[in-house]
Amino acid sequence: MITKPKGTKDIYGVEAKKWQYVSKVIDEVMEKYNYDFIRTPVFESSELFHRGVGQTTDIVTKETYDFIDRGGRNMTLRPEGTAGVVRCYIENKMYGNDNKPTKLYYNMPMYRYERPQAGRLRELTQFGMEILGTDDPMSDAEIISLAVNIYKVLGLKQIKVNINSLGDETSRNNYRNALIEYFKPHINELCEDCHERLEKNPLRIIDCKVDKDKDIMKMAPKTIDYLNDESRKRFEKVKEYLEVMGIDYVVDPTVVRGLDYYNHTVFEIEAKVQGFGSQNVIGGGGRYNYMVEQLGGPKTAAIGFASGFDRLMLALEKENIDILVNDSVDLFLLYVSEDEKKYAAYLSNDLRMHGFIVETDYLNRSLKAQFKQADRLNSKFTIVLNDNDLKNNEVKIKNNNTKEEEMVSLDALIYFLDENLNEESNYDANYKKDGDI
């Protein structure tokens, strides 16, 4: 038997409906913030991720799925969303649009060759958003508030925002030099990966998961101590806007993020969920004012955020949040004769096109078995198609909750269903919850 690859999962049944629900919530919130959906290719030139994400990141050095295609080109399966979005922004000259800034969001599978664990797979799904074309500190606060509000709408209550600033290029370089000077005498106390990071990208040492609890890490220089006046003032503005928006935050100098392209604001969002474990970060992001230019576009300030879908679903599960999914159909059509079956084919198609969820039998089962199938599907109404009734242009419809039956003209069937089914759409009836925006 052929089985799925390690680090991947099948999503189907009720779980798939829960994923669809979360996606719909994301879409709805993004619409309120006026973000446009974007989809980029699942594989791109390897150079894009090497230049965009950074040569010294774990993603590029250890985790990418790289291959050479039949044309001899070096390709990489998409490991994260931002680089592809920026490439699309440049290639399609979005920077030339009058409607600025450009606000985009995505919800796509990514691929990273890492050790699979709960909520972290080799094929993972991420949703994220980007604002390109503004350096305004309010856009930093908007991205953070948007992420927080998505989590809140989904029902997560204990959300913690950790923010930090890497400062501008000058501030970041000063901090980089301070880290090298600090860690160099103690490098043998750190893991082998940190040995390589010392000269290539010492900020990655602060993000080390192996040595994070050592005293040498706790005493390391802090980014905010190396911010110049301009960067410090900018960081203060970001915090002011967060306070105005009612977003609680904690300044955490250890937040540096694992990607090379960040500058100024960086942040992580935790879900403090019982039983979630120490790896409770469910999303993060930051400002990347140099990436567009590095990839061949004009100088463009930008900020973004990304969240792992698998981690989010696990957090919702651990928080015991009841995701209401639509597990019923509006109407089940039953039949006995071939003529009745043909009419079932016609009527089911017509009613579906009018917006109703309709099922019928495809296995030529007995009437008794069809009733059982209707019950399994939690059908709200059933109609037993009868040749004599059809000749009179009517059907007998049964409400499966009240058990009441009524003869209804076929010409009035749509109106009958409209009146007797929940007037709200399937999404409003089954998905909306308190706290929605």
HEC string of 251-316?
ECCCCCCCCCCCEEEEEEEEECCCCCCCCCEEEEEEECCCHHHHCCCCCCCEEEEEEEHHHHHHHH
| Cα distance between residue 267 and residue 257, in whole Å | 8
DSSP code, position 209: S
**Residue 176, pLDDT score:** 82
In which domain, by residue range, is 107 found?
Answer: 13-168+228-318
Last residue of a domain, one of 268, 296, 318: 318
Q: Give helix 309-318 / helix 13-32 axis angle, nearest 10°.
A: 110
Question: Of 191, 154, 111, which is closest to residue 22 (Cα–Cα)?
Answer: 154
Number of domains forming the structure of the chain? 2
Q: Are residues 155 and 300 in the same domain?
A: yes
Q: Are residues 313 and 335 in the same domain?
A: no
Torsion angles phi and psi, residue 394, rounded to 5: -150, 165
Q: Are residues 310 and 345 in the same domain?
A: no
Whether residue 324 is contained in a domain is answered as no
DSSP three-state, residue 21: helix
Last residue of a domain, one of 283, 318, 353: 318
In 3-state terms the chain splits into helix, strand, coil percentages (rounded to 5) of 40, 20, 40
Q: Are residues 295 and 336 in the same domain?
A: no
Q: Are residues 92 and 31 in the same domain?
A: yes
Whether residue 180 is contained in a domain is answered as no
Whether residue 67 is contained in a domain is answered as yes
Q: Are residues 163 and 258 in the same domain?
A: yes
Torsion angles phi and psi, residue 158, rounded to 5: -95, 80
Order of strands, sheet of 405-409, starting from the edge strand that comes earlier in the sequence: 358-360, 331-334, 381-384, 394-399, 405-409
Whether residue 422 is contained in a domain is answered as yes
CATH number, domain of 261, equals 3.30.930.10
Q: Are residues 357 and 419 in the same domain?
A: yes
DSSP three-state, residue 76: strand
Is the Cβ–Cβ distance between 358 and 414 less than 8 Å? no
Whether residue 193 is contained in a domain is answered as no
**Residue 394, pLDDT score:** 96
Residue 154 C-alpha from the chain's centroid: 12
Is the Cβ–Cβ distance between 44 and 154 less than 8 Å? no
For residue 309, the tally of other CB atoms under 10 A from its CB is 23
Whether residue 351 is contained in a domain is answered as yes
Distances (CA, A) of 416 to 351, 355, 393: 12, 13, 15
Q: Are residues 156 and 70 in the same domain?
A: yes
DSSP code, position 221: P
Q: Are residues 43 and 136 in the same domain?
A: yes
For residue 339, the tally of other CB atoms under 10 A from its CB is 12
Question: Of 261, 253, 198, which is closest to residue 59 (Cα–Cα)?
Answer: 261
Torsion angles phi and psi, residue 111, rounded to 5: -135, 120
Q: Are residues 294 and 392 in the same domain?
A: no
Q: Are residues 129 and 256 in the same domain?
A: yes
Whether residue 175 is contained in a domain is answered as no
Last residue of a domain, one of 294, 318, 342: 318
**Residue 434, pLDDT score:** 43
Q: Which residues of the chain have pLDDT under 70?
A: 52, 54-61, 119, 207-209, 211-212, 258-260, 275-279, 422-437
CATH number, domain of 381, equals 3.40.50.800
Q: Are residues 264 and 309 in the same domain?
A: yes
Whether residue 208 is contained in a domain is answered as no
